[in-house]
Amino acid sequence: MSIQEQISKRVREFRIKRDLTQEQLADLAGISPNFLNRIENCKEQPSFETIESIAKSLRVSMSVLMAWVKDATINDNDIAKVAIAYHKLSPKQKKVALPLVINLLKTLKET
């Protein structure tokens, strides 16, 4: 399952768990109900800011909402910290950082 699919699934799960309609959550998050529907149905990839707004509206942390890695050696807060640090980079820095991080993770996985 892709990251986008995981986020879509978790947004829907938490929305239902909080007993919110798509319209209610969209209003809380400051997005349109149509956009939220497209996110939940994996037809739209939300920005980091939108994910953050949805997480706040669902009263969950970013790390909980984006908890797609279940590896015991990496906790959800670590994932959120990496995502936040990456988000703060300039577009030029992101182009350099992403391949480095991907290669580092591949190398670590092989050891």
pLDDT digits (tens, 9 = 90+) for 1-46: 677 788 888 999 999 999 999 999 999 999 999 999 999 999 998 8
Q: Taking the model in full, what pTM does it have? A: 0.62
Answer yes or no: CATH 1.10.260.40 is held by domain 3-65: yes
pLDDT digits (tens, 9 = 90+) for 78-98: 677 777 788 888 888 888 888
What 8-state DSSP symbol labels residue 74? S
Long-range contacts of 15-19, Cβ-Cβ distance < 8 Å, separation of 24 or more: 15/40, 15/58, 18/58, 18/59
Please report, for the chain, the start and end positions of each structural domain, with discontinuous segments joined by +: 3-65, 76-110
